[in-house]
């Protein structure tokens, strides 16, 4: 069937034209005649459109048939581009579905990879010596999960600790100098070469007790602790706060979890509403098998690891670390991704390149 307004070919049973928005047939239960033009984004998307076990359903926007494959939990309608996802209550359409435009061509990507492969004094001409086995571009689904992380860090103040150590070393020098007694014999040495024994407590009490702030008869260990000889004393502990907000990308395909971004941010300012008509037919739009709920749990785990990594980069002597997080509902973002694989002297080198910005999302084997 064709749209009566613009002539676009539509699937049988379509409710409206996905190109111009004109109504094609009245919806079930609608009163009156033909509805006026209505954009897909204006329709209600809160209701379940099919139970979880459904093997065939209709797109909630254009009415096209959708047949979920085994394991799929994120599907994009091939006619109008509407995204649907499988949740606990069944299939629903996705509230926020966006995409990034494909800006990097094959030649630009190869140039970027050349710079990555040949970087370093021992890596000249690696790309020229490698065989290109695969280079394909696809639109990959990512769940963009907003996460606000608050990390509390208890760590040793390094500068203060260095100061305490230096002070302790100086005071120990005074003590050891006093133990020498000023004589030629060194430690308890006497004039006639005769070795003499001594009592540590008596010596410290008599020689330097008042000057060092040590009471006569005090134990040497107590004196040294008071001078700060305990490495990591309570006075050097400080509490730090590391707060960070993320729009964390979680790849929505189990087969691609090894390429999961660790600390990579897509250019979300360039995203637009998903429109399948703006995607070149030679570039596949892939479905996913990871639900939003699972993606939220993964985002929490990955953000916790990332916060810990950043904390250890800033503080070398961490004693305690704890992170609290707030996770909000996400959106589905389809990203143009180049998958490139080389063979180099029997080893595999793989790259995942952001087709929008040209940045390296991940690499393996380099």
pLDDT digits (tens, 9 = 90+) for 313-349: 998 889 999 999 999 999 999 999 999 999 988 889 9
pLDDT for the residue numbered 13: 60
Is the pLDDT score of 220 beyond 80?
no
117/170: higher pLDDT: 117
Contacts of 92 (CB under 8 A, 6+ apart): 45, 46, 47, 48, 49, 84, 85
Confidence band, pLDDT 50/70/90 cuts, at residue 54: confident
Calculate mean pLDDT across residues 19-47: 45
Q: How far is CA 3 from CA 12, 16, 217, 244, 277, in A?
A: 11, 8, 102, 49, 16
pLDDT for the residue numbered 187: 46
pLDDT for the residue numbered 23: 66
pLDDT for the residue numbered 356: 97
% of the chain with per-residue pLDDT over 70? 66
Calculate mean pLDDT across residues 221-246: 63
Q: Are residues 274 and 97 in contact, defined by beta-carbon separation less than 8 angstroms? A: yes
pLDDT for the residue numbered 211: 43
Calculate mean pLDDT across residues 114-128: 73
219/298: higher pLDDT: 298
Which of 86, 133, 149, 109 shows the shortest CA–CA distance to 292? 86
Calculate mean pLDDT across residues 86-98: 88
Q: Which two tokens stand for residue 97?
A: 């579905």
Calculate mean pLDDT across residues 4-24: 66
Calculate mean pLDDT across residues 185-203: 48
Is the pLDDT score of 8 beyond 90?
no
Which of 355, 279, 280 shows the shortest CA–CA distance to 113? 355
- Least confident segment among 99-108, 195-204, 244-253: 195-204
Which of 195, 192, 213, 194 shows the shortest CA–CA distance to 204? 213
Rounded CA separation 189/180 (Å):
7
Rounded CA separation 3/150 (Å):
52
Q: Are residues 189 and 183 in contact, defined by beta-carbon separation less than 8 angstroms? A: yes
Calculate mean pLDDT across residues 247-275: 94
Average pLDDT, whole number, for the chain?
Answer: 78
pLDDT for the residue numbered 25: 54
Q: Are residues 336 and 101 in contact, defined by beta-carbon separation less than 8 angstroms? A: yes
Is the pLDDT score of 33 beyond 60?
no
Calculate mean pLDDT across residues 200-216: 46
Element holding 204 (H helix, E strand): helix 200-207
Confidence band, pLDDT 50/70/90 cuts, at residue 287: very high
216/92: higher pLDDT: 92
38/278: higher pLDDT: 278
Is the pLDDT score of 152 beyond 60?
yes
Rounded CA separation 198/245 (Å):
64
Domain range list for the chain: 106-152+238-250+286-364, 158-236
- Tally of CB atoms within 10 A around 152: 15
Calculate mean pLDDT across residues 146-155: 96
Confidence band, pLDDT 50/70/90 cuts, at residue 15: low
């Amino acid at each position: 069937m064709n749209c009566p307004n613009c002539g676009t070919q539509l699937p049988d049973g379509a409710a409206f034209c996905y190109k111009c928005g004109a109504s094609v047939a009245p919806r079930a239960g609608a009163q009156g005649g033909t509805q006026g033009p209505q954009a897909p984004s204006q329709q209600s998307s809160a209701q379940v459109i099919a139970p979880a076990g459904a093997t065939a359903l209709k797109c909630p926007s254009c009415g096209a048939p959708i047949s979920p494959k085994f394991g799929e939990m994120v599907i994009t309608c091939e006619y109008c581009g509407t995204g649907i996802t499988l949740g606990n209550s069944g299939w629903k359409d996705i509230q926020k579905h966006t995409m990034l435009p494909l800006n990097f061509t094959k030649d630009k990507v190869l140039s970027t990879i050349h710079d990555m492969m040949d970087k370093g004094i021992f890596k000249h001409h690696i790309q020229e010596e490698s065989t290109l086995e695969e280079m394909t571009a696809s639109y990959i689904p990512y769940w963009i999960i907003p996460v606000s992380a608050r990390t509390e860090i208890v760590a040793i103040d390094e500068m203060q600790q260095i100061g305490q150590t230096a002070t302790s070393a100086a005071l120990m020098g005074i003590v050891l100098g006093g133990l020498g007694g000023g004589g030629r014999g060194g430690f308890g040495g006497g004039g006639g070469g005769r070795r003499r024994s001594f009592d540590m407590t008596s010596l410290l009490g008599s020689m330097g007790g008042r000057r060092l702030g040590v009471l006569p008869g005090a134990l040497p260990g107590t004196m040294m602790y008071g001078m700060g000889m305990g490495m990591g004393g309570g006075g050097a502990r400080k509490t730090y706060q590391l707060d960070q907000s993320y729009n964390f990308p979680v790849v929505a395909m189990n087969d691609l979890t090894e390429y999961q971004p660790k600390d990579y941010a897509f250019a979300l300012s360039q995203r637009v509403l998903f429109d399948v008509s703006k995607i070149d037919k030679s570039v596949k739009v892939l479905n996913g098998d990871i639900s939003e709920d699972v993606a939220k749990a993964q985002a929490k785990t990955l953000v916790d690891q990332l916060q810990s990594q950043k904390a250890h980069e800033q503080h070398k002597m961490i004693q305690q670390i704890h992170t609290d997080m707030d996770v909000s509902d996400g959106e589905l973002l389809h990203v143009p991704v180049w998958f490139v694989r080389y063979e180099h002297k029997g080893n595999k080198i793989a790259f995942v390149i952001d087709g929008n910005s040209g940045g390296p999302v991940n690499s393996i084997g380099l």
